[in-house]
Amino acid sequence: MTRFTARIERITAFLVMVLTISLVAGCRSRTDANGSGNQADVALATFSGDHPINVVGTVGMVCDLVRGVGGEHVQVTQICGSGVDPHSFSPSSEDVKLISKADIVFYNGLMLEGKMAQVLGTVGRRKPVIAVAEELDPSVLLKPDEFEGHFDPHVWMDVSAWSKCVGVIADRLSKFDPPNAEEYQANAEILQTKLDSLHQYAIGVLSSIPEEGRILITSHDAFNYFGRAYGIQVMGVQGISTESEAGIQRINELVDLLVEKKVQAVFTETSVDPSMIQALIEGARNRGHQVKSGEDLVLFSDAMGANGTYRGTYIGMLDHNITTVAIGLGGDASPSGFQGKLTGEEVASETSSEIGSDLLEESSP
């Protein structure tokens, strides 16, 4: 990075901060004049406008659950799109405006959206801003030693754990919009049933991987919950955040593992630079061990697939990951996946509205 580029980034960050303070201060002065605006009032706030509710969310995994629970009563705007890394994402002035104008905001939390923390915290003083993963019981969360005392934010990699966030969203929407509470709870039950089916599918196909081959190596530490839920040893080249640097020692350690355990495949991620994985492949090749990689071994980690596709939904994202890992590590799974949607024209022709309704359909895999 050049000095000029670094200076431009600092100036941009400063301007976004100033805009945030200006927008929120103006709105807070209006709420304070009406005798509200403190934390207690925010927690008890209810929706009084016209539907649909203007919801803003950060990452797709959160937004997709909100759409599934909220149905026709919500209009969800997603800040971090397909292929966007939330660890390094800095909100633009337009993003700040969207968040500031929302009726209610949902985000993952647990430091996933690190560079958005100030904006979310400031806006949260005057309107409901919910970190869904932070409302889970701590017993559900992982705190690996290498995370330096912080919880791992990638909860969505364990379908059963992420399903608990559906309940968080349903409860929050029910309190915010009491007249539609019954519908939110009903939608949540349907969605959780569907997620339970996906979880059972994952247990089945991933258990078919030969025990000695259950080693998943990816670009960064986004798959710890996946490993815990489905009995797979997981390792990332980089740490919890894609902002961290992978050292030569770490790469050499993983190359040793690839050769010693005769690991079949390594996996890149759609939102992370694949260069570190390429370094692993080259290192193993230099020691006489061939490792598979490529377009068929790409996983979704911190971002879902393209909008309007099956992989652009939470269920489709995890279906893709589960099926890809199972096949890549020598397990028994159909390339069409959990619902038969990973291959064929049906995936490409789906629309966003069809996907939203699909989340609320009860069907077996």
The answer on pLDDT for 22 being more than 60 is no
What are phi and psi for residue 6, nearest 5 degrees? -60, -40
Encode pLDDT of 144-183 as tens digits: 887 788 999 999 999 999 999 999 999 999 999 999 999 9
Residues 198 and 239 in one domain: no
User: Looking at residue 15, what is its pLDDT?
Assistant: 45
3-state secondary structure of 223: coil
Residues 192 and 248 in one domain: no
What are phi and psi for residue 218, nearest 5 degrees? -130, 180
Q: Which helix (H) or strand (E) holds 235?
A: strand 233-238
Residues 276 and 233 in one domain: yes
Question: Residue 266 is part of which domain span?
Answer: 207-358
The answer on pLDDT for 55 being more than 70 is yes
Domain termination residue (choose one: 202, 229, 247)? 202
Across residues 279-302, what is the average pLDDT?
A: 94
Tally of domains in the chain = 2
The answer on pLDDT for 353 being more than 90 is no
Residues 226 and 85 in one domain: no
Residues 228 and 348 in one domain: yes
Residues 88 and 186 in one domain: yes
User: What CATH code is carried by the domain that includes residue 189?
Assistant: 3.40.50.1980
Residue with tokens 């059972």: 200
What is the Cα–Cα distance from 271 to 183, expressed in whole angstroms? 35
User: Looking at residue 362, what is its pLDDT?
Assistant: 40
Torsion sign, CA atoms 157, 351, 86, 64 = negative
Residues 294 and 340 in one domain: yes
What one-character DSSP code corresponds to residue 210?
-
Confidence of residue 241 (pLDDT cuts 50, 70, 90): low
More reliable by pLDDT, 253 or 28: 253
Across residues 172-200, what is the average pLDDT?
A: 98
Q: Is residue 118 part of a domain?
A: yes
Q: Which residue intervals of 34-59 are DSSP H helices?
A: 39-43
Estimate the crossing angle of helix 159-176 against helix 60-70, to 10 degrees. 50
User: Looking at residue 190, what is its pLDDT?
Assistant: 98
Residues 176 and 212 in one domain: no
Residues 132 and 275 in one domain: no
Residues 272 and 195 in one domain: no
Confidence of residue 245 (pLDDT cuts 50, 70, 90): low
User: Looking at residue 250, what is its pLDDT?
Assistant: 85
Estimate the crossing angle of helix 181-206 against helix 159-176, to 10 degrees. 170
More reliable by pLDDT, 152 or 221: 152
Residues 243 and 145 in one domain: no
Q: Is there a contact between 108 and 133 (Cβ–Cβ < 8 Å)?
A: yes
* Residue 102 Cα to chain centre, angstroms: 20
Q: Is residue 104 part of a domain?
A: yes
Residues 21 and 167 in one domain: yes
